[in-house]
Structure 1
Amino acid sequence: MKLRSLQRHLASVRRMHLGPSQRGLRARLELVAEKSLGVGTFLWHTLDRAEDLDAPLLHHLPRGGGEKDVRVFTLGDLRDATERYARWYHAAGVVRGDRVGIQSEDGIANFVHFLAVNSLGAIPAPVNPNMAPDTAARYLARLEPRVVVADSGRLTALLEAAESPGALGLTVTQEEIDAAGPAGPLPTGYPYRHGDRDPVLIAHSSGTTGMPKAPVLGHRQFFTGKRPRILTMPSGPQDKNLLTFPPSHGSGLSYMMMATLTGVPTLVMEEQRGPAVAEAMRWWKPTVVIGFPITFGELATLGLEPSAAAHVTTWLATADASHEAHIRELVRLGRHREGGKWRQGSRYIDGLASTEVGMAVFQNIHGPDTEAYQRCVGYPEPVVEEATVFDEHGKRLGPHEIGYIGVKSPTETLGYWADADLTHRSKNDGFWLTGDIGYYDEKGRFYQYDRATDVIQTVNGPVHSLPTEEIVLKACRRAVDCTVVGAVSPADPELSEPIGVIRMQENCDDTAEHLLSQINAALRKAGMHQLSALVVCKGENDIPLGVTGKVLKREVRSAYAKILVADDDLRLDVARVRSVRGELGQLPPAGTTAGGKPGAAA
């Protein structure tokens, strides 16, 4: 009895310093050292080491809700919900290797489905709730699912869009599963014991180039980059996470896993827009804010009160690299420890990520006084074994030569579902090609200049859109977002000229003519190719975004392809969104082709 009393006393002391849900250093070290730890086993290993299963852990904020609408989930709640869903799936005939499609807006439900399906050895395939029904139905049908679960309205839309009645397998609403009582026993051997290469997730890509791809992520592969973060993620006694990733996205699931492993209280939001996130920050008072660059861009430009960010020490972004103008605004806010005292300014961890590699593969850490910008995405993550750049013929390039970025990493996808050809074409010399155009310098830092599909081929040579967007956003401080694409060139219909589509704050009265003149002056000063037209918009949906928050440049290109060659009547239609043609006269040299040297005009 004395030993048990002492253990309880020590546990209570540890909780005084950490908080009831947080894992102490010993527990986290044990988790890191556990050889069988992976995506399919992390919940059960965490349950074994948790001291309080009833402590608040995940806090779910529904779309449109406020502080009073938050639902709290403990580790015990996650275990019980996982087992309840697993019983339902087992009764429905789901077995090892089956695919289960999920399309729900409920953030925690996505996570519980993910846990439950994996606990049976089946493969979850969550779909972003914003994906169009016809796209989602075709995407899921390719996976030949055993079951598809969706919110009632979404399931109706999916079934109407499906090519045949049985294309989606057994279909059931989220509401039916939630309302169901106990559904029989768990299978023998529950939970399923995963092998290293067992699939644990089919994660769809953003769909920026068309139908979303379906990379398969594995038990050990998807977890490899997360293991060290159990020790490095901020997890002090005052830390609180605010998670704004779509909970159906691989990144959202990853950081809910990290919250479970570390025990850091985490607010899981269904909404990713800046104003909603700013409002949640006022009462949640997070120390770490996690999201896509589009969310941080809106926070930076739509007016985040310094008091709402007063406790923030870390902004953690992933997917595309973030824009300098937005980073600089955010690192001025928040606080950091220096000399034992809190001082003004926070850090911004910018991660260039790839769904196919299961995590950020490059990382650049910014602070109030750092200067590593110019589209610098930093050094490869420690888990990346090697990163390089290739030309169009697959030859390795040297420092400052622009080409196709490739990485060699144990976190690489197991391949695209049922598409061996696409998997093969995505590799070169043992490297996974991320789809990014860029280069590296003598220090080994990498720079992202474009996506391979977005390079603009002009009469003067190729122009890379991302460095151009950086200049646009720095020249227009009231811009919320900007995208640069190619439009058909009046000089040659086989070539393009760069145009900009810019979203300004709603209270901005600058004309398109004034903004274009201001932008092109900044581009000339930087020695870069000028824009030939500018489209100004103020609505949050006027620049089309994919389901993961990335700009759909293919749709922007399609919408404004003829803006430079249209006759007056068509030009008048475009003028309703306040577009204006720029000068096509003497232009500085454009950027370089893959294998060339980056210059000021790149």
Structure 2
Amino acid sequence: MTNDRISSDLIQADGLGAGNFFRLAAAASESAESVIELDQPYRAPSGERHASITLTELDELTDRVAAGYYADGIQAKDPVAVFVEESVRYLVHYVALTKLGAIPVFVNSSLPSEIAARFIEHVGAAAVVSDPGRLARDRLPITYYAEEPYGHGDFKLFTHEDGDPVLIAHTSGTTGIPKAVQFNHKGFFFGIKQQINADLGTRILSALPQSHASAISVLMSAVARGATVLLATRREPELIARAVQEFRPQLVAGFPKTFVDLCRVDLDAYDLSSVARWMSTGDANHERHIRKLVARGNHVDRDGNRRPGSLFIDNFGSSEFGFAMFRTVHTPTSDRYQRCIGRPFAWVEAEIFDADDEPVPIGTVGRLALKSPTITGGYWNNSLLSEKNRVRGHWLTGDLAYRDEDGLYYHVDRTTDRIVTAQGTLYSAQAEELILRHFPELVECSIVGTDSARDDDFQTPVLTIESRLPDAELAKLHKGVNALLAEHELPLIERVLVKAADEHVGVTGKALKRSMRVAFAEG
């Protein structure tokens, strides 16, 4: 027996959106089965411990938390920051605060406390929920909750309009302090509504950070389909592989780093046969890792036949879009890689602009820009930066890409990461993909441009790898990499350096090329 699928009448109902979805879904569901399974028990303010939570239990619990907030004077449109250990608590506060029309502010639990405090100050939070000792209380002279508020009185239920903010999320912070991204009632739910009939299975393992907007998005999607979701908040690769073996999901969702890390372990030691689909959101994934994962599990093809191997849904997106922008699906036999991100979703209008905001021809690299109902309302308390990201009615994603004659898009780099050398421009993400494809001994690599000691106008490309190779083998690898780059008429690598897997990695798992540029500068 599975949980009840939310009716199509509710999904299409006027007024349904991200701000009231969980409340209305609970009212429409007749199932008492658990919808959300937890890998770490949750202790409610009442003292009750939950290993799982039904929609009804979530609704009742968040009524009490909302009542506690209301009794303390939290009102509609008040931003309230949540900065706690990775757990289902982010969801609890999201649902409770949106019942009041207040605005949850999700702060990544991995952020250093000083940066988190600056982020919370920037959004103008009226209150903050944080674990004891995580924040200096005198640093933020606002209402402070060490645990969920809990009340037994009534509260004023808020009715959301389409443009009302329902979440202030964070970007990955790869360029410094995370930006505060605003999501609205209608836009945050739009992509979920459009994709409601997609087959994602009845058991889903979500390894997405619970403090990220994508975790809420995937959970809303799963609940709407009547699926049971395991929130995998402990994301060490061995624990994820074991959770797949025990929970037996048909879909595993995560950021690219989750799938890279999975490829570091011996996958043959685990039973992954239940998986029909892996779904990544964020940056484009590497061919190396995709091929290793789709060799596991099984799936049903378009003719209804069960086939060995799984599918890899590579969703390309960013924090500012609330839902993925592009999708490409890899099968065990597909061979379209080279950082192909596929086509935009039907509701997304894509364009590629040059430095003068003019559209570029097919095959030319430029700045990727999109128009979509899901796009953020802007950066909270930073209208100037928001406007600088708007070009001809489109929002700049911060990515460099090109489009081929078949209408497929290819991602080559972030705008901040391209490397201008004396031999020409090197697109780091594109070159990394090429290197990983030809050097199977490398699990992961990054290329950054450091300031050149010889010419202030150019940068020096540095390749970082995770390896235990002796110096002689590193020199051989360096020579081989440059031979490959020369064959493709690309600028050569100046140095090869070794770094640990967890060095220069951001709070969402992305490589921090900004910090690498500083650390690996010449001299």
Pair in the same fold by TM > 0.5: yes
CA distance in 1, matches of 2:234, 2:353: 38
Is the aligned partner of 1:150 residue 2:121?
A: no
Provide closer, same or farther for how the CA distance between residues 380 and 487 of structure 1 changes in structure 2, counting only shifts above 3 A: same
CA distance in 2, matches of 1:268, 1:212: 24
Q: What is the aligned partner in structure 2 of residue 230 from structure 1?
A: 196
Backbone CA RMSD of aligned residues: 2.0
Is the aligned partner of 1:57 residue 2:20?
A: no
Q: What is the aligned partner in structure 2 of residue 183 from structure 1?
A: 151
Is the aligned partner of 1:534 residue 2:519?
A: no
CA distance in 2, matches of 1:510, 1:381: 48
CA distance in 1, matches of 2:353, 2:194: 30
Whether the 8 Å contact between 2:182 and 2:377 is mirrored in structure 1 is yes
Aligned-partner residue type, residue 501 of structure 2: E
Q: What is the aligned partner in structure 2 of residue 377 from structure 1?
A: 341
User: TM-score, structure 2 length as denominator?
Assistant: 0.94
Question: 1:80 is paired with a residue of what secondary structure?
Answer: helix
Aligned-partner residue type, residue 278 of structure 1: A
CA distance in 1, matches of 2:368, 2:4: 39
Question: 1:224 is paired with a residue of what secondary structure?
Answer: helix
Shift of 1:530: 2.4
Runs of 5+ in structure 2 lacking a partner?
42-48
Runs of 5+ in structure 1 lacking a partner?
1-14, 64-68, 567-602
Q: What is the aligned partner in structure 2 of residue 597 from structure 1?
A: none
Is the aligned partner of 1:37 residue 2:5?
A: no
Question: 1:209 is paired with a residue of what secondary structure?
Answer: coil
Whether the 8 Å contact between 1:483 and 1:500 is mirrored in structure 2 is yes
Is the aligned partner of 1:366 residue 2:330?
A: yes
Q: What is the aligned partner in structure 2 of residue 440 from structure 1?
A: 403
Question: 1:383 is paired with a residue of what secondary structure?
Answer: coil
Number of residues of Structure 1 aligned to a counterpart in Structure 2: 515
CA distance in 1, matches of 2:401, 2:315: 15
Aligned-partner residue type, residue 145 of structure 2: V
Question: 1:225 is paired with a residue of what secondary structure?
Answer: helix
Q: What is the aligned partner in structure 1 of residue 60 from structure 2?
A: 80
Shift of 1:303: 2.4
Shift of 1:478: 3.5
Shift of 1:511: 3.8
Provide closer, same or farther for how the CA distance between residues 22 and 105 of structure 1 changes in structure 2, counting only shifts above 3 A: farther
Shift of 1:395: 0.6
Deviations 1:500-554 (A, max 9, x none): 11124x79998422332332233333333221111123x3322x11111111110
Aligned-partner residue type, residue 325 of structure 1: R
CA distance in 2, matches of 1:308, 1:471: 31
Q: What is the aligned partner in structure 2 of residue 396 from structure 1?
A: 359
Whether the 8 Å contact between 2:288 and 2:437 is mirrored in structure 1 is yes
Q: What is the aligned partner in structure 2 of residue 252 from structure 1?
A: 215
Pairwise mapping of residues 143-222 of structure 1 onto structure 2 (< 5 A)? Answer: 143-154=123-134, 157-159=135-137, 162=139, 165-166=140-141, 169-174=142-147, 177=148, 182-188=150-156, 190=157, 192-222=158-188
**Which of 422, 431, 434 is equivalent to 1:471?**
434
Provide closer, same or farther for how the CA distance between residues 390 and 520 of structure 1 changes in structure 2, counting only shifts above 3 A: same
Provide closer, same or farther for how the CA distance between residues 30 and 183 of structure 1 changes in structure 2, counting only shifts above 3 A: same
Q: Which runs of 4+ in 1 moved over 6 A?
A: 506-510
Whether the 8 Å contact between 1:32 and 1:228 is mirrored in structure 2 is no
More off after superposition, 111-120 vs 526-535: 526-535
Whether the 8 Å contact between 1:486 and 1:557 is mirrored in structure 2 is yes
Provide closer, same or farther for how the CA distance between residues 49 and 100 of structure 1 changes in structure 2, counting only shifts above 3 A: same
CA distance in 1, matches of 2:338, 2:228: 35
Pairwise mapping of residues 324-343 of structure 1 onto structure 2 (< 5 A)? Answer: 324-338=287-301, 339-343=303-307
Larger Rg: 1
**Which of 463, 469, 474 is equivalent to 1:512?**
474
Shift of 1:70: 8.3
Q: What is the aligned partner in structure 2 of residue 8 from structure 1?
A: none
Provide closer, same or farther for how the CA distance between residues 219 and 516 of structure 1 changes in structure 2, counting only shifts above 3 A: same
Deviations 1:547-570 (A, max 9, x none): 1111111001110011xxx3xxxx
Aligned-partner residue type, residue 511 of structure 2: V
CA distance in 1, matches of 2:372, 2:107: 26
